[in-house]
Amino acid sequence: MLSLYKISKTSFILSVYFLATFLFASVTFTNLKADTKLFNEAQYHVETMMEDIQFLLEVGKTDADQGRILLTKLLDKYFDSLQIAKFSSMPAWRKATTIEKEEFITLFEKYLVNLAAKRFDEFKDVEYIISKIEKRGSKMLLVDGHIKAPGNKRDNTQVAWRLFLNEKNKMRIIDIEIAKISMIVAQNDEFTSIIRNNKGKFSSLIDVLKKELDNQY
C-alpha cells in the first residue's frame, strides 16, 4: 500500500507553484519593449489573467464553492492543463492508455483547483512587476518578474511564466517558475517516484490522486 507521504509533499509544492498565480493583485511593467505581436499577446494574457484573479479572490473570500468554479474556468482559460499533466508525468505518460490519460487529466485539474481554493486568504494585497519578456523558440515565451510585497516574506521573490501558442494559436501558460525552480520539473520528480515505487504502473498515480482528492473534501 502506497503511503500518501509523497503526495503530501507534492501538495505543498503544487500549492506554492500553482498559487503563485494568485499572489498578484496588480501588475506593473518596467523596461519592456513589447513591439512584436507575440510579445503583445503575452502581455495581454498576463494582464487579463490578473484582472480575473482579482475578481476571483474577492469571490473566494466569501463563497468558497463559487471560488472553485471560477478557478476551474480560469485554469481552462489561461493554462494548458493537458500539456502540464503530460510533462508532469513523463516518461510514464507515453505508455499510459487513452482512458488512463483522460482520467489523470481530470483528476489533476481538480487537484490543482482544490489546492488553490484552500489558500485564498493567503494571497492578496501584493503586486507583481514584470521586468522582461523573452522569446524562446518560435512559439514559446518567458514572462519574468518578481513579487512586490513590503513586509511580506514573499517580497522580491522571482516568478516567471512559460507561455506558448497552442495548436489553435491561443496563448497558454504551461509552467510557472519560482526562484528559478520549475513547477513541472518538481512535479515530475514526485510523480515519477510514485510510479517507480509501484512497478511502473501509471494507474498507481491515478489511485494516489483519487485518495488525495477524497482527503481534501
96-102: long-range contacts, CB 8 A cutoff, minimum separation 24: 96/202, 97/202, 100/202, 100/203, 100/206
Domains identified in the chain and CATH numbers: 5-210 (3.10.450.710)
Tens digits of residue pLDDT in 22-32 = 545 456 555 44
Which of 7-21, 105-119, 152-166 has the least mean pLDDT? 7-21
Give me the amino acid identity at 5.
Y
pLDDT of residue 52: 83
pLDDT of 30: 52
More confident position, 6 or 56: 56
Q: What is the mean pLDDT of residues 78-90?
A: 91
What share of the chain has pLDDT > 90, as a percent?
31
Secondary structure letter of residue 24 according to DSSP: -
Burial of 24 (0-12, 13-18, 19+ CB in 10 A): buried
Q: What mean pLDDT is predicted for residues 8-27?
A: 53
- Provide the pLDDT for residue 199: 92
Binning pLDDT at 50, 70 and 90, where does residue 7 land?
low
Which among 193, 175, 183 has a CA at the least distance from the CA of 7? 193
